[in-house]
Amino acid sequence: MDKRTILAIVLSLAVIIIYQMFFFKPPVKHPTPPPAKEAEKAKETRLLPPKPTPEVMASVPKTGEEKQVTVETPLYRAVFSSKGAGLVSFKLKKYKKTLDAASESVDIVSLKPGMKYPLGVSFIHSSFDLPDNVFFNPSREKVEVKEKEEKIVFSTIVPGRIKIEKSYIFYPHRYTVDMEIRVTNLSNGPIEQMAVVNWYEYMDPKVERDDYGHTGPIVFHKNEVERPEVGKIKEDKVYGPGVTWGGFESKYFLAAFISPHPSLTHIYVTKAATEDEITVMLKGEKLVIPANQEASLNYRLFLGPKEYNLLKAEGVNLEDAIDFGSWLKWLAMPLLITLNFFNKYINNYGVSIILLTVLIKILFWPLGNKSYKSMKEMQKLQPKLLELREKYKNDKQRLSQETMALYKAHKINPLGGCLPMIIQIPVFFGLYKALLYAIELRHAPFFGWIKDLSAKDPYYITPIVMGVTMFIQQKMTPTGGDPMQQKIMLWMPVIFTFLFLNFPSGLVIYWLFNNIISIGQQIYVNKRHG
């Protein structure tokens, strides 16, 4: 294989990398339409907004003054409403919307006037339906969670029919909240109840969203993460049974229901006609409650940051909510764990990225040496390869035989310069994913003008310096005698510089120091092998 072929492989790989990074999106899975009879049955049992009977609604506590209940913990400040016992706001104290010191805390809840509150519970396909905006009586109006867990109970009664109690348990150092729905049958006969927990989200069109992250519904269904695109939701999407958890996500934050019985759980995702309101509904098992008896449903809620250790601790694959990809997560997760280990002692993620870059370079140092040495040997053979091309320009088969004989005589593997690079590509992809989606880098400073490693360099200094180091590296890399090849390769730093201008600065720092170490390695190999 001559230098042109190697160059073609390298350029092809570069094109694939760039395409995967910036343009490729996984194909949308379109379920096979069910047969006509099954479609009619599905239409009949489709989850619809509950329509209580006038008799029931006359007894439902739907009037009165709306009360708010405040919950303070070291991690968040939550506000609940007596209307539906739903969640008005859930502000994370450790995370601000912007770098401004006066910036508000990130709120997991996003609503507009007139919308129902998340965590509302409605009863459907039951002995009688009940909506999720009835009034409840809270057991407390203010809770401070300091040393141990605290509990709030919201209760409401439909006289002679049903009593509902919604209990929330809060923990001082966890983003998880336990929710119990207890139903007591006050009638003289058995009743059937099916509870649906709802999460409502307002997709404010004025809010600028991260191009690299998904904002919308997320479902962990049959051990796979599903992320329906909001813009492509034309009708209700149904997942289940087999739903372990589901909810709503942004790039760095997650609100999720965790089901104790995945085999009995479904998730429904719907979009309002205005297309800016999303509802994620978790439908559990149906309860059959004898007269004067009670039954309960229990769910765990996670409302917080997509921090790997926190998500992993839940033990339900909640860490898959971090968008590492199904194939690359096995590389991205260990790299992120290593990055967090370094930062534990250094307390600067920028320096931790540099140390991680050095560690990766050390691991691949032998392969790098082999690659540079092979390229040097190939460069030495260029005059003889050109002679063979000229001599056998009309006999391709003989040219191939003589070329391979020349490689064999000089003990050179024509792919020796490329294979070590190809082996490292998955690691580069894994680190790219780890740095791109790690919340640890959000608003994490490096030094000087770099105040946020998850945002682009505001003055474009690091991508320009990165381009310069890449240019130096290209000039030092052994190449063939074709001037056109050299010109093409020298254009690569320019292309990469423009691509990296808007990259998160944490990624640019990795690539910059990777180039610097590579330059040092090339100098070492050149001196050692003349």
The CATH number of whichever domain residue 290 belongs to comes to: 2.70.98.90
pLDDT, tens digit, 9 for 90 and up, residues 105-154: 999 999 988 899 999 888 877 766 677 778 899 999 999 999 899 999 99
Q: What integer pLDDT is reported at residue 38 of this predicted model?
A: 45
State mean pLDDT over 26-44. Answer: 43
pLDDT (mean) for 453-471: 92
Sign of CA dihedral 17, 19, 21, 27: negative
φ, ψ of residue 449 to 5 degrees: the values are -80, -10
- 318 and 339 together in one domain: no
207 in a structural domain: yes
Most trustworthy range by pLDDT among 214-228, 361-375, 465-479, 492-506: 214-228
- Shared domain check, 492 and 418: yes
pLDDT tens for 283-299 read: 888 888 899 899 998 99
Q: Is position 18 within any domain?
A: no
Q: Which residue has the higher pLDDT, 45 or 121?
A: 121
Same domain, 290 and 421: no
Q: Mean of the per-residue pLDDT values for the chain?
A: 81
- Report d(CA 200, CA 211) in Å as an integer: 23
Residue 262 sits in the same domain as residue 293: yes
Expressed as residue numbers, the domain containing 422 is 333-528
Residue 1 resides in a domain: no
User: What is the per-residue pLDDT across 419-436, written as a single tens digit (0 to 9) for each?
Assistant: 556 767 788 788 888 888
Give the β-pairing of 87-96 and 105-107.
Answer: antiparallel
Kindly calculate the radius of gyration of the chain based on its CA atoms and give it in whole angstroms: 30
Q: Give percent of the chain with pLDDT exceeding 90.
A: 40
> Are residues 271 and 359 both part of a single domain?
no
Q: How many domains does the chain have?
A: 2
Instruction: Give the integer Cα–Cα distance in Å for 223 and 244.
Output: 8
Judge whether residue 70 has pLDDT over 90: yes
233 & 113 share domain: yes
Please give the average per-residue pLDDT across 440-445, as a whole number.
Answer: 92
How confident is the model at residue 451, as a pLDDT? 93
Are 339 and 317 in the same domain? no
58 domain residue, yes or no: no
Question: Which tokens hold the place of 86?
Answer: 């739903």
User: Which is more confident, 10 or 50?
Assistant: 10
Lowest mean pLDDT among 32-41, 72-81, 206-215: 32-41
Confidence band, pLDDT 50/70/90 cuts, at residue 14: low
Distance CA 438, CA 147 (A): 30
Q: Please tell me the distance from the alpha carbon of residue 523 to that of residue 478, in angstroms, as a whole number.
A: 12
DSSP state of 11: H
pLDDT of residue 496: 86
pLDDT > 60? residue 94 = yes
pLDDT of residue 61: 54
- Which amino acid, 13? L
Q: Mark whether 250 and 388 lie in a shared domain.
A: no
Per-residue model confidence (pLDDT) at position 51: 46
Q: Is residue 25 part of a domain?
A: no
Q: Which of 178, 283, 276 is nearest to 231 (CA)?
A: 276
Separation of CA 259 from chain center: 20
249 and 136 in a single domain? The answer is: yes
Q: Are residues 414 and 509 in the same domain?
A: yes
Stretch among 239-243, 267-271, 427-431 having the lowest mean pLDDT? 427-431
237: left (phi over 0), alpha (psi -120 to 50) or beta: beta
pLDDT value at position 445? 93
User: What's CA 412's distance to the chain center, in Å?
Assistant: 44
Residue 444: pLDDT band (50, 70, 90) is very high
322, 345, 363: which is the final residue of a domain?
322
What's the distance, CA 448 to chain centroid? 29
Rounded-to-integer distance, Cα 101 and Cα 395, Å: 73
- Given a contact cutoff of 8 angstroms between Cβ atoms, the answer to whether 451 and 99 are in contact is yes
Q: Which residues of 442-460 are buried (b: 16+ CB within 10 A; e: fewer)?
A: bbbebeeebebbbbbbeeb
Q: Count of alpha carbons within 13 Å of 272, Cβ hemisphere only?
A: 11
Helix 483-500 × helix 505-528 angle, to 10°: 150
Instruction: Answer whether residue 45 is part of any domain.
Output: no
Q: Is residue 384 part of a domain?
A: yes
Same domain, 77 and 182: yes
Specify if 241 maps to a domain: yes
Q: Which of 296, 322, 348 is the last residue of a domain?
A: 322
User: Exposed (0-12), middle (13-18) or buried (19+): which is 411, by Cβ within 10 Å?
Assistant: exposed
Structure tokens of 98? 């912007």
Residue 163: count other Cβ atoms within 10 Å of its Cβ.
Answer: 15
3-state secondary structure of 162: strand
Please tell me whether residues 127 and 232 are part of one structural domain: yes
Domain edge (last residue) among 322, 355, 379? 322
